[in-house]
Structure 1
């Protein structure tokens, strides 16, 4: 074999060896690439698992928050139900009160229209009462009645004044009163002490105590008192002025008790 041939053969041999080496290297390189792929797939799987776990944890947190809100809503619902049950009777009472007020408002117009007539009737009855009563404080009582006839008074104010006048007249029936005034007769006018026992007795006594009288309502005149009766009037004057302890007085009456009761009932 010539050198060229030997060289060619060696070259050929060498070329064949290199092919073998390259094939072997490829065979050796194949498992490394697969391992790398496996590692990559493992990492991808772990990442996906981590992401899935994060989603699961997030879903769990959201579910727990929703469960907490649900329980809070249930507790609030129970509280509101209990409060509503407790509030129902109060609301019913308020509804009844509103209904009564509405009825009162409905009747207010009719009541307002009736006030003038009511006040006028009270004033007329009061005037008759005073004119038929014992003649004490006549000017004061008549002036009170005249003030009720003022045309510029609103109906509610007039009614209130009429009620006040009636209360004053009723108070006279429970009083023991004494005052000094003038007694007018047909031929003279003199100063005397008056004593009034409610509405059943009206008396006068002269300052020297020598003359006295009792008013007779049925006859409309004064009747003289004897010495014993004038002494009782004197005691009554001192009792009224807090100069003597209260005690029973024995005096004739200006009007029988039966008539006083009848007048109070009819009024």
Structure 2
């Protein structure tokens, strides 16, 4: 019995002595496993971080690539526009050169137009003489004014021609004076286009019409007095338009 107990104790001692190294190895294995797990976790974190960085760089790359494509198309369209504008600039320069040539040719043309207008007024019936003379004088002044452009000069001359053209198809009444017996006589003029120019005094004692052949006013038959008065009212828009009876020279064949 004593021997059995001793053997059991010896066996336990042997087991204890055998178990101690195994426990140490197990503990070491556990530590290695923990370290491995920690390192794996750290590696996974690095991988996740690298994956996020890669994804961000890929997004940036795609955005930059898209921006590059947009800028490339924009530059191409700008290049076409620049080329078109260069062509327009060349055409405008040609127009400027042509305008300079036209301006040099316009000055003698306008001088000729103004001279023709002045001659026409001098040969026309003598209505609104002062007004028309002042218009010619202003145009002459404009032609020598360096601050007035060629376009402005041309426009003013054309306006003067248009005004003269309007006289041929309008009826007008205006007051004025005529020379009479060494003095002046206040009269009322009636202009019917360029067909007739008549004046009368306020008391109807004088009634005259311009005679082209005589280049002077001559007495008008008083039977036309009522028509002249009607014409004056029509010109002042005091009555509705109506037919007027006025003497006109017979037409002649043009030479």
In structure 1, the partner of 2:55 is 64
Equivalent of 2:234 in 216, 228, 239: 239
Point out the structure with max Rg over C-alpha. 1
- CA apart distance, 1:62: 2.6
After TM superposition, list the pairs within 5 Å mapping 1:67-78 onto structure 2.
67-69=58-60
Aligned residue for 1:194, secondary structure, equals strand
Aligned residue for 1:148, secondary structure, equals helix
Equivalent of 1:30 in 9, 21, 34: 21
Calculate the TM-score normalised by the size of structure 1.
Answer: 0.66
- CA–CA distance in structure 2, aligned partners of residues 256 and 87 of structure 1: 70
Pair 1:218–1:96, CA change in 2 (3 A): farther
Equivalent of 1:212 in 194, 207, 218: 207
Consecutive unaligned residues in structure 2, runs of 5 or more = 1-13
Q: Are 2:117 and 1:122 aligned?
A: no
- CA–CA distance in structure 2, aligned partners of residues 119 and 198 of structure 1: 26
Consecutive unaligned residues in structure 1, runs of 5 or more = 1-22, 260-267
In structure 1, the partner of 2:174 is 179
- CA–CA distance in structure 2, aligned partners of residues 162 and 190 of structure 1: 34
- CA apart distance, 1:127: 0.7
- CA–CA distance in structure 2, aligned partners of residues 83 and 104 of structure 1: 31
Q: In the TM superposition, what whole-angstrom CA distance separates every residue of 1:195-252 from its partner, at most 9, and x where no partner exists?
A: 0122232112233334423323355343543233232111111222233222222223
How large is the RMSD of aligned CA atoms in angstroms? 4.3
Q: Are 2:246 and 1:251 aligned?
A: yes
Equivalent of 1:145 in 136, 142, 155: 136
- CA–CA distance in structure 1, aligned partners of residues 250 and 104 of structure 2: 39
Calculate the TM-score normalised by the size of structure 2.
Answer: 0.69
Aligned residues: 238
> Of the two structures, which has the highest relative contact order with CA contacts closer than 8 Å and spacing of 6 or more?
1
